[in-house]
């Protein structure tokens, strides 16, 4: 029997609620398939700030490094929004990404037929949408130097961030993107701002050169402003999108919303070796925390990605994904995906329905 060590980072807001539903489901599928999970919980985000003063304590990073995969829920909240930057929950998340070398972020956005009417766009625009955003995650303007708020000689302050990509950084995310496109429909769109930014010109040159090694992939390029427009205008033209850290942050939220609710979408962050981090795309939703209103499905689907990409357990992953389909087919809905004629349930009840669906 395989036995996996999984680090759990429940974090803040609705994090603990959706995490507890998800670990219950993981245990159940593990029992069914003879897969053992050893869960170890660690502090991260606001919860870690309150307990230790740091959003990513050294101990947490060490526990993560020492595991087979990391399941993260959500971090942040109003309470910590005004702390100095190095103490913000978000800084902990960036530290985790950098500390584990997670340069590749996979964010699938596919519309589930049951939820088409939850999208703010017309049915004919979104029906059949199935996009994978491959976002570079440990470089670009998020990490480039120099950065900071500096005082000039006149006493005026200047805020600085720097968008940097080296050839090696572009090539390794490009490889993930081309290989992802190969496993999907074979279409890859690289998004940049090469009409203005030098860093984007290098990005475009490298990605174009790499295309020669992947004759089965049809490569296209878009400027990021146009890509944002096309995503809303005609999203079905996209299959796999590859882009840098900041553009990927923005476009993956837009892609997420095509599917009706950001509450449905999982993500995987992977490095060259070592454990990946699997987390929902949505945030910690402090406004509904502790009220049993949260949608746990993106967390469950993140656990499915953990099984598929992190542990190479595709059968267990499929069972979780199937359970999500089954509860939606049975018309169970949390508030964020509710529509007329469906049954409104809370986080716990959704968890129970998933357990039943797993059988
Ligand atoms: C995301 C989030 C993070 C990011 C924040 C919380 C630091 O928006 O994962 O998309 O900007 O990368
Ligand atoms: Mg974001």
Provide the pLDDT for residue 176: 97
User: Any binding-site annotation on 90?
Assistant: yes
Provide the pLDDT for residue 263: 82
Atom of ligand 1 nearest to the CA of 267: 9
Provide the pLDDT for residue 158: 97
Atom of ligand 1 nearest to the CA of 93: 7
Q: Which ligand is nearest to the CA of 91?
A: 1
The residues that are catalytic are: 142, 193, 225, 249, 253
Provide the pLDDT for residue 136: 98
- Protein residue closest via CA to atom 3 of ligand 1: 90
- Dist CA 254 CA 277 (whole Å): 22
Question: If you measure from the C-alpha of residue 214 to the centroid of ligand 2, how many angstroms do you get, rounded to a whole number?
Answer: 30
Structure tokens at 18: 């959706």
Provide the pLDDT for residue 90: 93
Between the alpha carbon of residue 268 and those of residues 85, 97, 157, the distances in Å are 25, 11, 38
Question: If you measure from the C-alpha of residue 356 to the centroid of ligand 2, how many angstroms do you get, rounded to a whole number?
Answer: 33
Question: If you measure from the C-alpha of residue 251 to the centroid of ligand 2, how many angstroms do you get, rounded to a whole number?
Answer: 9
User: Any binding-site annotation on 292?
Assistant: yes
- Same fold? 1-101+272-359, 126-261: yes
How would DSSP label each residue in 100-116? TT--EEEEEEE--GGGG
Provide the pLDDT for residue 339: 85
Provide the pLDDT for residue 257: 87
Give the residues surrounding ligand 1 with Cβ less than 6 Å away: 90, 93, 249
Alpha-carbon 209 to chain mean position = 28
- Dist CA 190 CA 251 (whole Å): 12
- Dist CA 264 CA 111 (whole Å): 9
- Protein residue closest via CA to atom 1 of ligand 1: 249
Contact 252, 135 (CB under 8 A): yes
Q: What does the longest C-alpha to C-alpha distance in the chain come to?
A: 69
Residues flanking ion ligand 2, Cβ below 5 Å: 249
User: Any binding-site annotation on 86?
Assistant: yes
Pick the CATH number of 1-101+272-359 from 3.30.2290.10, 3.40.718.10, 1.10.287.3510, 3.60.10.10: 3.40.718.10
Q: Give the domain ranges of the chain.
A: 1-101+272-359, 126-261
Q: pTM to 2 decimals? A: 0.94
User: Any binding-site annotation on 97?
Assistant: yes
β 157-160/148-151 pair status: antiparallel
How would DSSP label each residue in 211-275? GGG-TTSEEEEEEHHHHHHHHHH-GGG-SEEEE-HHHHHHHHHHHHHHTS-GGG-EEEEE-SSS-
User: Any binding-site annotation on 249?
Assistant: yes
Pocket-testing residue among 44, 72, 90, ligand 1, by greatest number of atoms within 8 A of Cβ? 90
Residue 333: strand, helix, or coil: strand
Question: If you measure from the C-alpha of residue 31 to the centroid of ligand 1, how many angstroms do you get, rounded to a whole number?
Answer: 34
For the chain, where are the E strands, in sequence order? 2-11, 35-41, 69-74, 104-110, 130-136, 148-151, 157-160, 187-192, 218-223, 240-243, 266-270, 277-280, 332-333, 343-344
* CA proximity to 160, closest of 141, 177, 176: 141
Successive 10-residue mean pLDDT values, the chain, 359 residues = 93 98 98 98 97 97 98 96 92 96 96 87 94 98 97 96 98 97 96 98 98 98 98 97 97 89 90 96 94 97 96 96 97 92 97 97
Question: CATH 3.40.50.300: does it fit domain 126-261?
Answer: no
Q: Which ligand is nearest to the CA of 93?
A: 1
Pocket-testing residue among 91, 93, 141, 281, ligand 1, by greatest number of atoms within 8 A of Cβ? 93
């Amino acid at each position: 029997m395989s036995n996996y060590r999984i680090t759990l980072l429940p974090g803040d807001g609705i994090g603990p609620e959706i995490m507890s539903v998800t670990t219950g489901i993981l245990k159940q599928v593990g029992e069914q398939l003879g897969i053992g999970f050893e869960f170890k919980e660690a502090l991260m985000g606001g919860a870690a700030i309150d307990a230790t003063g740091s959003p990513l304590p050294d101990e947490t990073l060490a526990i993560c490094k020492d595991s087979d995969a990391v399941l993260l829920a959500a971090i942040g909240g109003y309470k910590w929004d005004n702390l100095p930057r190095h103490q913000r929950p978000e800084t902990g998340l960036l530290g985790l990404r950098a500390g584990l070398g997670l340069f590749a972020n996979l964010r699938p956005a596919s519309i589930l037929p049951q939820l088409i009417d939850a999208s703010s766009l017309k049915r004919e625009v979104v029906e059949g949408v199935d996009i994978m955003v491959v976002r570079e995650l440990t470089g670009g303007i998020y990490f480039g130097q120099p950065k900071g708020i500096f005082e000039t000689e006149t006493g005026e302050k200047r805020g600085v961030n720097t968008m940097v990509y080296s050839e090696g950084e572009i090539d390794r995310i490009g490889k993930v993107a081309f290989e992802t496109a190969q496993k999907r429909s074979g279409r890859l769109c690289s998004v940049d701002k090469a009409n203005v930014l030098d860093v984007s010109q290098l990005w475009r040159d490298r990605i174009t050169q790499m295309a020669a090694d992947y004759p089965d992939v049809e490569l296209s390029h878009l400027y990021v402003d146009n890509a944002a427009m096309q995503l809303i205008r005609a999203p079905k033209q996209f299959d796999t999108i590859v882009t840098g850290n900041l553009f990927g942050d923005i476009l993956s939220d837009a892609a997420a919303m095509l599917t009706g609710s950001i509450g449905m979408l999982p993500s995987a962050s992977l490095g060259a070796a070592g454990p990946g981090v699997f987390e929902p795309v949505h945030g910690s939703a402090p406004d509904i925390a502790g009220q049993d209103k949260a949608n746990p499905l993106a967390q469950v689907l993140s656990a499915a990605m953990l099984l598929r990409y992190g542990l190479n357990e595709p059968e267990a992953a499929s069972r979780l994904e199937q359970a999500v389909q089954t509860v939606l087919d049975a018309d169970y809905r949390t508030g964020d995906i509710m529509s007329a004629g469906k049954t409104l349930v809370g986080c716990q009840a959704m968890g129970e329905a998933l357990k039943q669906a797993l059988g």
